[in-house]
Amino acid sequence: MDSLAHAIRQLQTGALPRTEFFAQVDRVLENAPGSAGRLLEVLSEEHARKPLPAEVYTEIQHRIERLILARQRKDGDDTFVQTRPGANTMHDEPPPRDDDGDVDTEPARMKGVGDTLNNRFVLEECIGFGGMGIVYKALDLRKLEAADRKPYIAIKLLNVQFRGHPKSLIALQREARKAQALAHPNIVSVYDFDRDGPMVYLTMEYLKGKSLSQVLRAPGFAGMPYADALPIVTGMANALTYAHGRGFVHCDFKPGNVFLTDAGKVKVIDFGIARVFQKTEEDADVTVFDPGSLGALTPAYASPEMLEHLDPDPRDDIYALACIAYELLTGRHPFNNVSALQARGGGMKPQRPAGLARGPWQALRSGLALERNARTPSAERFLHDFSAGGQTLRFGAAAATAAGILVAAVLGVAGWHYLGGKSRTQAPAQASAPTPAPPQASIQAPAPAPAAPPAPTAAAIAAALDRVPCAALVGRVDGHALTVQGWLSTPPGATGLKDEMAALPGVSSVNLDVRQVDRAKCPVISVFGPYWSAYRQAGGGAAIRLAGNGHGPDARLTEGDSLMVDVTTAGAESFVTVDYYALDGSVTHLLPNARARDNRAPPHYTATIGSLGEWGIGKPFGVELVVLVTTPVALFDGPRAVSEPAAAYLADAAKRLAQIRARSGAGKVAVEFLEIHTSPRKP
């Protein structure tokens, strides 16, 4: 088992090429002693430590599952089920058969992206992993035929280790049926349980958003304010309260099983999955499974009683809920990610989060109790205690924020008068201060003031900015003050641009909000810059940034990091193009390409382009550009080579964009730039 972990780590550091890596994996599997099921645990642990590329994870899992099936059919030497710790291994049941009763001589191939289940569900994208199996985004062909506006569902395809015992399928079917009754806004809907030959799967509601684990594991995440954490904790607690009231204990509650939708809702997933391994009163004849043996238990969030294989209790979920709430506030696990048994054995105690009011802190302490009898008895009580006292703190923070806004507003007005409207503030003061009338003889006719130049027009500013080479700029005129935003190269640079704009008739002050790029980016900026400017003048709305939280305007990635970007499309249905311009003069087409052809998106659509391990950062290092382009018609008739010389692509893109502009107008083409700083990984 150690050799598998070692091979995975060598692959992740780049010390082992993929070809050699899979050859080594095959050697490990061939010589694996004891239970081959342990290999899946090693894979899951290493993936949790540092995520593997989706295709690598899936391929390793498939090879391990084929080994498990082969051994099970040969002599059943792998343990799949245990009634209690130390109980005898069960081999009295035959392996599951296909519908026609025949047992294949070779293990069935696990299905993946591109395959279809039961001639109905097309697996389009892998969106999650777990010890129980793999979750896919799937297209329901029946919904598509019926012109359903939401034809996508989520499918959890269970792995061989779970499928290995027939009674687990019976139990899963019963629990899936019960899970369908858990109709709650904070619980994902489970549609059905089914199988395609030996492939066992659940169909579920498809959600757009991200898991809570992605939020907690984002680079730079160090906790969030109590006011921001409370709605998430409330959603989780409400889901658990509802489920516990109907006899369900989640048994694997963790950040990865909490989903934050793009609409701002909190959804708990995998109800009924972990619960399937526990005996219920109405199913007294069902074999009781040990969740830990099948990977349905996460040590960092499992209560001591779960780790000791005691019967499930709602307080097991309360422990996990308290762990997650603590992480939301601090960015770290209350016991440094060690198991509850280790924490109890070491006498560890959680530290009070800085600035947390007494009420929420007492709720966390009680929820994190390492003895079941001392733990908060219900999710409802936990939420009540976590909210108590915190409300005062929350309202206090809100009041302080409002006061800060008021102060900022006052300072902003004062600053405006001081910087741009001096005569307006002084004139009333001078008028209100009476001055003695001078002697009549001293009165002289004032000299006529020179006529002030008229304020510049938006058209004049736009024409001037269009003349700036290698730039994407827009200007906003406020009286005689000019603000310029966008991208430009050096020269002219910010100083040169400011001097040019200040020399325009009617401009009294110039404020710049621009990003400077080196001359090497000019071919890209020159082609797309005019469309960026026109789209901004038309109102804008599209956006691109690095996926995840914690990335500011200076996006930075290191060698080996995965390139994943979040994009938001224009306000009309459009075709999305995302390209990465590297320092070596090449361009890589992130979307569309031969593997991702469908790039049509509805208005204001948000999506993540790329996945873990799909696009990796490598040499050369420096500052590179990612460009988002959305067009009312497809930019090209079909996907191009994944990577090609940027010069040739830019020439073709310029011609095609000119055609689209002639038909639809420049403002219908959305363009956004993302500058990424790349660097080698430190040894």
| Residue appearing with tokens 């004062």 | 414
Q: Are residues 218 and 321 in the same domain?
A: yes
Query: For 282-291, 311-320, 422-431, 585-594, which range has the lowest pLDDT when averaged over its residues?
Result: 422-431
Q: Are residues 36 and 144 in the same domain?
A: no
φ, ψ dihedrals at 59, nearest 5°: -65, -45
Instruction: Choose one of 25, 59, 74: the last residue of a domain.
Output: 74
Both tokens of residue 171? 């139990």
Residues 48 and 185 occupy one common structural domain: no
Q: Do the domain assignments include residue 309? A: yes
pLDDT band at residue 409 under the 50/70/90 scheme: very low
CATH number of the domain to which 562 belongs: 2.60.40.2550
> Do 638 and 579 belong together in one domain?
yes
In a domain, 653, yes or no: yes
Same domain, 249 and 378: yes
408 is a domain residue: no
**Tens digits of per-residue pLDDT, 465-491?**
888 888 999 998 888 889 999 998 866
Q: Does residue 173 sit in the same domain as residue 220?
A: no
Give the three-class secondary structure for 404. Answer: helix
Mean pLDDT of 492-503: 83
**Greater confidence, 283 or 128?**
128
**Mean residue pLDDT across the chain:** 76
* Residue 269 and residue 365 in one domain: yes
**21 & 67 share domain:** yes
The half-sphere exposure of 660 on its side-chain side, counting CA atoms within 13 A, is 22
Q: What is the pLDDT of residue 404?
A: 31
Residue 533 within a domain: yes
Instruction: Provide the domain limits for residue 578.
Output: 521-679
Q: How many helices (H) and strands (E) does the chain have?
A: 20, 22
Mean pLDDT over 499-513 rounds to 87
**Residue 254 counted as domain residue:** yes
Domain assignment present for residue 673? The answer is yes
Q: Are 597 and 663 in the same domain?
A: yes
Domain count, the chain: 5
Residues 147 and 251: their CA atoms lie apart, in Å, by 38
Instruction: Please determine, for residue 60, whether its predicted confidence score (pLDDT) is greater than 80.
Output: yes
Question: Is 255 a domain residue?
Answer: yes
pTM of the complete model: 0.46
The model's pLDDT over 228-262, given as tens digits with 9 standing for 90+, comes to 999 999 999 999 999 888 888 888 899 988 999 98
Residue 87 lies in a domain: no
At residue 598 the predicted structure's pLDDT band, cuts being 50, 70 and 90, is: confident
Boundary-marking domain end, from 171, 206, 241: 206
Sign, CA dihedral 212-216-218-221, equals positive
Query: Do 467 and 527 reside in the same domain of the chain?
Result: no
* Mean pLDDT on 120-125: 90
Q: By mean pLDDT, which of 144-158, 295-309, 407-421, 473-487 is the weakest?
A: 407-421
Q: Can you give the CATH number for the domain in which 169 is found?
A: 3.30.200.20
**Residue 559 sits in the same domain as residue 674:** yes
Same domain, 249 and 381: yes
Q: What is the pLDDT of residues 601-657, one digit of tens each?
A: 888 888 888 776 677 888 888 999 999 999 999 999 888 888 899 999 999 999 999
